[in-house]
C-alpha cells in the first residue's frame, strides 16, 4: 500500500515538490496537478472514441482486426490507469480524513 509519506517522497524526488509557503500550480513554473489530470482524462476520452470508431469500422469491414484489437487494448489500458489514479486519490482523501486534528 502506498502511504502518504511514500507519495510525498516520490513527488519530492521527481523535482515536483512545491516551494514552502506557495500553493501548488501558482506562479512557480511547475505543472498544475489539476491541469495534468484534465489532460490525462481528455487523452482517455480521445482514446476511447478512437477505439469506438475502430470497432465501428471493423464491423463494417473497413478496418483490419489487428487495428481494432490494438485500439481496444489502448483504450482499456487508459481507462484502467484513470481508475487506478482515482482509487489512489480516494484512498489519500480517506487517509487525510482519518487524521486527528
Query: The whole model's pTM is what?
Result: 0.63
From CA 81, how far away is CA 47, in angstroms rounded? 12
Could you tell me which of 26, 41, 27, 39 has the C-alpha nearest to residue 86?
Answer: 41
Q: What is the pLDDT of residues 31-88, one digit of tens each?
A: 788 888 898 899 999 999 999 999 999 999 999 999 999 999 999 999 999 999 999 9
Query: What's the grid cell of residue 73?
Result: 487494448
- Asked if residue 26 has pLDDT above 90, the reply is no
74 or 23: whose pLDDT is higher? 74
Model confidence at 17: pLDDT above 60: no
Residue ranges covered by each domain of the chain: 32-101
Looking at residue 20, its pLDDT comes to 45
Amino acid at each position: 500500500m502506498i502511504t502518504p509519506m511514500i507519495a510525498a517522497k516520490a513527488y519530492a524526488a521527481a523535482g515536483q515538490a512545491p516551494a514552502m509557503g506557495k500553493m501548488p500550480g501558482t506562479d512557480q513554473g511547475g505543472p498544475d496537478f489539476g491541469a495534468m489530470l484534465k489532460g490525462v482524462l481528455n487523452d482517455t476520452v480521445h482514446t476511447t472514441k478512437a477505439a469506438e470508431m475502430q470497432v465501428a469500422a471493423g464491423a463494417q469491414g473497413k478496418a483490419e482486426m489487428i487495428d481494432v484489437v490494438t485500439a481496444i487494448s489502448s483504450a482499456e489500458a487508459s481507462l484502467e490507469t484513470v481508475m487506478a489514479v482515482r482509487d489512489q486519490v480516494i484512498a489519500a482523501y480517506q487517509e487525510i480524513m482519518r487524521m486527528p486534528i
